[in-house]
Structure 1
Amino acid sequence: MPIETPLTSLLGIKHPILSAPMAIIAGSRLVRAVGEAGGFGILGGGYGDKDWLEKEITKLQASSAPFGIGFITWSLAKRAELLDIALDAKPRAIMLSFGDVRPFASRIKAAGSLLICQVQSEDMAKQALDAGADILIAQGTEAGGHGASRTTFDIVPAVIDLAAGRVPVVAAGGIADGRGLAAMMVLGASGVLLGTRFYASVECDGAEEAKRRICAANSGETVRGVIFDVSRQIWWPAPFTARTLINDHALRWMGREAELVHNVEAVAAEYATARDAGNYDVAAVFAGGAASLIHDIPPAAEIVERIAREADQILSGQRNFPGTPLAVSSR
């Protein structure tokens, strides 16, 4: 059965499951597949590749499924014209993460799109609400890619309390199955945003070797830090750092970040060569703590249906959380 929440009503979707706008690898194939399965896919606009954005938007417009487009906010501020390209496509929503949304909020809402803001603290949530956010994503540090230090079980209820029912709050970070969706709904979230789980899907445009490594990862085999941003010479603002799978490059420089910065030109050249060759002993796989829960690479539609079905069974009392003596029931 569909799980109806304020989020599903607002976005006009069947399941309260969103796919994260992972830069470049969350392309039109993934976004369309998630949307057609009843979730909500968000295109990964990332740092702002105009040609890529226009090409992927054109592909998306061939589908009737609703979709969103996501941007790294501080990077969008350097190429604000990309927002016009996105809004011309009439997405159901624009998602902004990691920066001040106020310069863009009025344009997004005037164009008729919903404004989704990803936040990592109460102060960020207050700023987003003041700017007119329609949906808040409360992102915990367990999330893959960039984020901050608050845990999912800390930040999600804090943002829910702050929002006080004014807008739906979506949980992100360390969630990969129906247990995670059910748990977040018990906390009061209206849905979940998943990155790493959809990275390991057929339609994700990530490298197959990267997907394989996600499936092989064990608990504790991710790390949050600045090593890969420094190695790519992409200087992210504080407090945002990146969570990745631990590989040889991470092990080489963990605890030696100052030395890495000192040798950045030589290391960056080595890193670029390895990345272009698909060498993931050096190149980053941006993945979250939920990687240890992921063991297969199915179609995105199967992921959506599987998570929705499992969460519904738990919430309706038909199925227990593993290891619990009593069923959780919300009905």
Structure 2
Amino acid sequence: METIQIANTGLTTSRIALGTWAIGGWMWGGSDEREAIATLQNAIEEGITLIDTAPVYGFGRAEEIVGKALSGGRRAKVLIATKAGLEWSNDGKVVRNASARRLRRELEDSLQRLRTDRIDLYQIHWPDPQTPIEETAAVMAEFLREGHIRAIGVSNFNPEQMAAFAAVAPLHTVQPPYNLFERGIEADVLPYARSHGLTVLAYGALCRGLLSGAVTRSRRFSGDDLRQFDPKFNEPRRSQYLAVVDELERLAQQRFGKNVLALALRWLLDQGPVIALWGARRPGQLAPLADALGWRLDAETMTEIDQIIARHVTDPIGAEFMAPPARELANS
């Protein structure tokens, strides 16, 4: 397993982390708790030492499952990264709330669900336009001084927001959407992270399964699965992106003896101080893990990948559809 140090924290972690949004079930068509626990424990056996979760993943369910899975001494083997700054109502409506009062309550709830006395990496899930960034950063700095957390991160922040945050509190990581198909951060967030010593936790590393090689043109998604509403999974874009996947599969097999999943993860790891978040929810999905490790893509292949994408995708789009709304002040 390849590892990386999170600067100024003393924390070292695997460069592949397990993301648990799908394990929480919400917006992924549900999940099986026994299978989810087996996946988490198998990830640790495979050398993954960072588990990334959030209260909103299943409205507490993902954190509870992580807590159960790490019992019996496994907690000491991993770093837990979770988040704060989103709240939900009984009808499942999610809004942003990163006020100091909300964050204090979320910290207490997360510690209880995770069955731990300290969170290794605590992240603000989304910037909250109704709360000054300085207020959010100040309470995160308090958590750090109090010893409740070991490192601070933000998710879905732009460079201006990160700069405002870092003026008040230490900032160690940023978590944006980033994969072969969603590369908007290359214009701003990634250069900022590189120049300021931040580690990037890339969520959506396989673009919600699109880069796994398992999605077909005929596959349908039901229930609350967010891919029903993802523009990449609807025509005409689905055919465009899957044409890229088909060509990348051939490239990976012919040049490296790998599959497209390994190629997509390797591409991500070769972009700098990046940790790839892999959203597996069944143990078998982790089987290809080793294929992404211990090698690098050459410059010629990097260029060819870009050419393949440009040839097929005529109307690229990012992950903007996933952004939760701001709350109204009357409900704060």
- TM-score normalized with structure 2 length: 0.50
- Where does structure 2 lack aligned partners over 5 or more consecutive residues? 26-30, 88-96, 129-135, 212-260, 306-332
Deviation at 1:51, TM superposition (A): 7.9
What pairs up with 1:148-297 in 2 under 5 angstroms? 152-156=182-186, 158-163=188-193, 164-175=195-206, 176=211, 177-195=261-279, 198=280, 201-203=281-283
The partner residue of 2:150 within 103, 106, 113 is: 113
1:82 aligns with 2:64: no
Could you tell me which residue of structure 1 aligns to residue 237 of structure 2?
none
1:12 aligns with 2:12: yes
1:36 aligns with 2:45: yes
CA RMSD of aligned residues (A): 3.8
Give 2:188's aligned amino acid. A
Higher relative CO (CA 8 A, sep ≥ 6), structure 1 or 2?
Answer: 2
Secondary structure of the equivalent of 1:5? Answer: strand
- Give the conservation status (yes or no) of the 8 Å contact 1:117–1:136: yes
From the superposition, tell whether residues 194 and 125 of structure 1 become closer, same or farther in structure 2 (CA, over 3 Å): farther
Give 2:274's aligned amino acid. S
Structure 2: distance between partners of 1:32 and 1:128 = 35
From the superposition, tell whether residues 33 and 322 of structure 1 become closer, same or farther in structure 2 (CA, over 3 Å): farther
What pairs up with 1:106-145 in 2 under 5 angstroms? 106-110=141-145, 111-130=148-167, 131-140=169-178
- Give the conservation status (yes or no) of the 8 Å contact 2:262–2:288: no
From the superposition, tell whether residues 7 and 28 of structure 1 become closer, same or farther in structure 2 (CA, over 3 Å): farther
Deviation at 1:17, TM superposition (A): 0.9
From the superposition, tell whether residues 38 and 102 of structure 1 become closer, same or farther in structure 2 (CA, over 3 Å): same
From the superposition, tell whether residues 29 and 128 of structure 1 become closer, same or farther in structure 2 (CA, over 3 Å): farther
Could you tell me which residue of structure 1 aligns to residue 289 of structure 2?
304
Deviation at 1:322, TM superposition (A): 11
Give 2:4's aligned amino acid. T
Task: Provide, for residues 82-132 of structure 1, a one-character-per-residue CA deviation record: whole Å limited to 9, x for no partner.
Answer: 312434432322233113442641244232422232125323333443432
Deviation at 1:56, TM superposition (A): 4.4
- Where does structure 1 lack aligned partners over 5 or more consecutive residues? 144-150, 204-297, 325-331
Structure 1: distance between partners of 2:62 and 2:155 = 23
Percent of aligned pairs with the same amino acid: 12
Structure 1: distance between partners of 2:273 and 2:149 = 25
Structure 1: distance between partners of 2:68 and 2:142 = 21
Aligned residue-pair number:
210
1:95 aligns with 2:123: yes
